[in-house]
Chain A
Amino acid sequence: MNKARTNPFNTLAMHGALIFYTLIALFPVFVILINSFKTRKAIFREPLALPDADSFSMVGYQTVMKQGDFFLYFQNSMIVTVGSLFLVLLFGAMAAYALSEYRFRGNMIMGLYLALGIMIPIRIGTVAILEMMVATGLVNTLWALILVYTAQGLPLAVFILSEFMRQVSDDLKNAGRIDGLSEYTIFFRLVLPLVRPAMATVAVFNMIPIWNDLWFPLILAPAEEVKTLTLGSQVFIGQFVTDWNAVLSALSMAILPVLILYVIFSRQLIRGITSGAVK
Chain B
Amino acid sequence: MTALTLTNVNKTFGKVHVLKDISLEVEDGEFVVFVGPSGCGKSTLLRVIAGLEDASSGEVRIGGDLVNTTPPSKRGIAMVFQSYALYPHLTVRGNMTLALKQERQPKSVIEDRVAKASRMLDLTSYLDRYPSELSGGQRQRVAIGRAIVREPKLFLFDEPLSNLDAALRMNTRIEIANLHRQLAASMIYVTHDQTEAMTLADKIVVLRDGRVEQIGSPMELYNNPANQFVAGFLGSPSMNFLPGDLLQGGDERTIGIRPEDLFLSDTGALTAQVSHVEQLGGDTNVIAHVQDHQITARLFGQHAIEAGDTVRLGFDPAKTYAFDRDGQRVSPT
Contacts and interface: CB of A to CB of B under 8 A. Distances in A.
Contacts of A180: 73-74, 99, 102-103
B77 interface: yes
Looking at chain A's contact residues, is the secondary structure mostly helix, strand, loop, or mixed?
A: helix
Interface in B56-87: 71-74, 77-79, 81-87
- The 4 A-B pairs with the shortest beta carbon distances in the complex, nearest first, are A180-B73, A179-B99, A171-B85, A180-B102
A178 to B, nearest CB: 5
Contact of A178 (B73, B82, B84): B73
Contact of B81 (A175, A190, A193): A175
A169 B81 CA distance: 11
A202 B77 CA distance: 39
B99 to A, nearest CB: 4
23 contacts: A171-B82, A172-B83, A174-B47, A174-B52, A174-B79, A174-B81, A175-B79, A175-B85, A176-B87, A177-B52, A177-B72, A178-B50, A178-B52, A178-B78, A179-B73, A180-B74, A180-B99, A180-B102, A181-B98, A181-B102, A190-B87, A193-B88, A193-B89
B73 A177 contact: yes
A172 B89 CA distance: 12
Contacts of B103: 180
Interface string A178-220: 1111000000011001100000000000000000000000000
Interface of A: 169, 171-172, 174-181, 189-190, 193-194
Nearest to B98: A179
A171 B83 contact: yes
A186 B99 CA distance: 13
Contacts of B83: 169, 171-172
Contacts of B78: 178
A169 B85 contact: yes
Nearest to A172: B85
Interface string B109-146: 00000000000000000000000000000000000001
Contacts of B81: 171, 174-175
A86 to B, nearest CB: 21
Nearest to B53: A174
A265 B38 CA distance: 43
A166 to B, nearest CB: 15
A171 B50 CA distance: 12
Contacts of A181: 73, 98, 102
Interface string B36-51: 0000000000010011
